[in-house]
Amino acid sequence: MPLPADYHMHTPLCRHASGEPGDYARRALEIGLTEIGFSDHSPMRQDNFDDWRMRFDQLDEYVEGIRKAQQDFPQLTIRLALEVDYLPGQEDWIRDLAARQPWDYFIGSVHYVSDNWALDNPNKLSEWRKRDAFEVWSVYFERLTKAAETGLFEIIGHADLPKKFGFRPERDCTALYERFLTAAKKYNCAIELNTAGLRKDCREIYPSREILQLAFQKGVPITFGSDAHAPEEVGMNFTDAIQLAHEIGYKECCRFVRRKRELARF
Ligand SMILES: [Zn+2]
Ligand SMILES: [Zn+2]
């Protein structure tokens, strides 16, 4: 069975990744992948919003870099995508970005649970300590549900990102997951199995087995992503992710071409 596509990887334009697109492509071929997609952190309307994404005036350079990798590695299918931050009120900006290039897919990700706190930022751990974990998870999943409901994304990224540093609520979160997955199903959003969680304090794929099980029951499709910020991370731990997906019952994952979904066995 072919390996699933790795649909989540970055470039140095986001200021916290290393290696050129060609280096990621070379690594993908080395480990036997046949398809990858670049999904770097999208620009915000205001470049000074934060310092871990490309500037708006670098969007064309980003696309040229991916096009070059496509030309240099014709034996590999390389998709053009973005990981887009969802914040309520940003919908028009996201539509504007969508119209600028013939993207293959958008990954919608929630990192910000307020205008100035990205909960996965290791420099802002003190914010976690000021708050109740359940409150943070609730706000996060409300935003994730809204992100799915916008219909602007083919894939929702790392669905249980708040577990990254291990701040887990004592209360049961099933209702939060249910609401989100119901929206994902209704608005045709896939969720990704993101192996970067295995490299973080939580030591677990995003999302958890529990969430993935609910997703399968509701018929929410999946993609795979390493969230590589360096070439050697491409396809990392895909064997674990594939095993998890198979155990739950998934036999197919999504591919996207110009924002149209196809299913592929894996
Ligand atoms: Zn990143
Ligand atoms: Zn992300």
Span 63-120, pLDDT tens digits: 999 999 999 999 999 999 999 999 999 999 999 999 999 999 999 999 999 999 999 9
Distance of CA 158 from the midpoint of ligand 2 (Å): 7
Predicted structure pTM score: 0.98
What is the model's pLDDT at position 1?
85
How many angstroms does the Cα of residue 217 sit away from the middle of ligand 1? 30
Ligand 1 centroid to Cα of residue 14, in Å, is 7
- Spell out the residues 6+ positions from residue 177 whose beta carbon is closer than 8 angstroms to its own: 141, 210, 211, 214
Cα 86 to averaged position of ligand 2 atoms, centre (Å) = 11
C-alpha 251 to ligand 2 mean position (Å): 25
Compute the distance from residue 194 Cα to the ligand 2 centre, in Å. Answer: 9
> Which ligand sits nearest to residue 14's alpha carbon?
1
| 118 CA → ligand 2 middle, Å | 10
Ligand found nearest the CA of 122: 1
Q: What is the mean pLDDT of the chain?
A: 98
Q: What is the mean pLDDT of residues 121-143?
A: 97
Question: Could you tell me the two tokens for 126?
Answer: 């003190």
Ligand number, closest to the Cα atom of 82:
2
C-alpha 261/C-alpha 257 separation (Å) is 7
| Mean pLDDT computed over 126-150 | 98
Q: What are phi and psi of 194, to 5 degrees?
A: -110, 115
CA of 10 to the centre of ligand 1 (A): 7
What digits encode the pLDDT tens for the residues 209-256?
999 999 999 999 999 999 999 999 999 999 999 999 999 999 999 999
Report how far ligand 1's centroid is from the alpha carbon of 2 (Å). Answer: 27
Q: Cα of 196 to ligand 2 centre, how many Å? A: 10
Ligand nearest to the CA of 157: 2
Ligand nearest to the backbone CA of 156: 2
Q: How far apart are CA 128 and CA 217, in angstroms?
A: 32
Interhelix angle for 59-72 vs 21-30, to 10°? 40
> What is the 111 CA–ligand 2 centroid distance (Å)?
7
Q: Is the pLDDT of residue 30 over 90?
A: yes
- Give the Å distance between the CA of 160 and the centre of ligand 1: 16
How far is it, in rounded angstroms, from Cα 155 to Cα 256? 10
Which ligand has the minimum distance to the alpha carbon of residue 164? 2
Q: Alpha carbon of 49 to those of 73, 78, 157, 167, 180: distances in Å? A: 34, 29, 20, 25, 27
Distance 51 CA to ligand 2 centre (A): 14
- For residues 2 and 34, is the Cβ–Cβ distance under 8 A? yes
